[in-house]
Structure 1
């Protein structure tokens, strides 16, 4: 199966953000990635997951949620990467942009968030319930979504490493708080970054199944 990747320049929330849009043949949906603390669209972990999703006929969009100037500042202060409201506002703008682009306008959207990016993804899902049909969190901090957590309507999969006890506890609390359908999956022997052999592949497979199940449903109902 052929996948085409193009560089995108996205105007949202008063800034211009760089992204990489990958479109396989006849995509069943599109997954927008929200990277974690101090990361970018070049994250090797998110790219590995995105490539796996592409093989499952899911389009992907990896975006830098901070501008180049902001990234330089954040490198020294680490403030912006934890500004969930800022990141969520930009994700919401990107969702709106996807709805305006001819290639992606008809595709049901899912969000894949890592670390603090997962909180931003959940806030965006709560703000755009008619557009976001599924969420997957990898080693995420759903607790940072605040009151938006109970407003999320999209089915949500929380993936956590077995050897990431604090994040596992926070995700268990989030699952029990959410009103939407939410499942917690624990990857055996994995730590926070899923660097152990085979663990990231398990994340990608779980995510592909979740998006495959939940992104196909809206299209089928039209």
Structure 2
């Protein structure tokens, strides 16, 4: 994989990101991190590493500017501003789709926590651009029923078995999903999947899902 720092140009702001790709990449996955996290999230980077081994390019970028992150550390409000996060994520998808070297490349979204709600809304807003979605410990309920019904991309909800409240919310959201959806429960795992082997299971499940929806060899 060739990695480089990039500037993602969303409609209202420029955001820092890390783009990892190879000449024969079968698709690209854009990450939407969760509450209080950034493009440096070790959990998302662990998933990205597994995707790279399947020939999938990745874009990890900051949904908030450094100034906004400082505000959010105090108020904890922006991480729940799904409208804002969706605008940023949709802008990143549009930016990727418009690049000469990635135009026409299948795009998937990987959302964690509140980032999963933004991923589902973006999938609803860009049905022709988004090929698949994976949610890790996500809050798909925050996307809203209208957005969930408008999602056409196949979606995988990965939830920890011990994360009971979030598991319930994911099951309820799955019933409202407009396209194909599935829940993958990681037995005994809590919200951050810190248990031994839990993140490895998340990464493997995400890799298998994106390989399948991208139509890659072996998928």
- After TM superposition, what 4+ stretches of structure 1 lie above 4 angstroms from structure 2? none
Q: Which residue of 2 aligns with 1:125?
A: 123
Q: Which residue of 1 aligns with 2:112?
A: 114
Q: Which residue of 2 aligns with 1:150?
A: 149
- Counterpart mapping for 1:27-38 below 5 A: 27-38=25-36
Contact 1:126 1:149 in 2 (8 A): yes
| Equivalent-residue separation in structure 2 for 1:178 and 1:10 (angstroms) | 29
Q: Which residue of 1 aligns with 2:55?
A: 57
Cα offset, 1:106, TM superposition: 2.4
Q: Which residue of 2 aligns with 1:11?
A: 9
Q: Deviations over 1:109-136 (max 9, x none)?
A: 0000000000000000000000001000
TM-score normalized by the length of structure 1: 0.95
Q: Deviations over 1:183-203 (max 9, x none)?
A: 001001110000001110000
Q: Which residue of 1 aligns with 2:211?
A: 212
Q: Deviations over 1:1-46 (max 9, x none)?
A: xx11010011212211000000034110000000001100000000
| Equivalent-residue separation in structure 2 for 1:79 and 1:134 (angstroms) | 28
| Equivalent-residue separation in structure 1 for 2:51 and 2:22 (angstroms) | 10
Contact 1:32 1:60 in 2 (8 A): yes
Alignment root-mean-square deviation, CA? 1.1
SS of residue in 2 equivalent to 1:153: coil
- Counterpart mapping for 1:10-89 below 5 A: 10-89=8-87
Aligned residues: 216
User: Which segments of 5 or more consecutive residues in structure 1 lack a partner in the other structure?
Assistant: none
User: Which segments of 5 or more consecutive residues in structure 2 lack a partner in the other structure?
Assistant: none
Q: Which residue of 1 aligns with 2:202?
A: 203
Cα offset, 1:101, TM superposition: 1.2
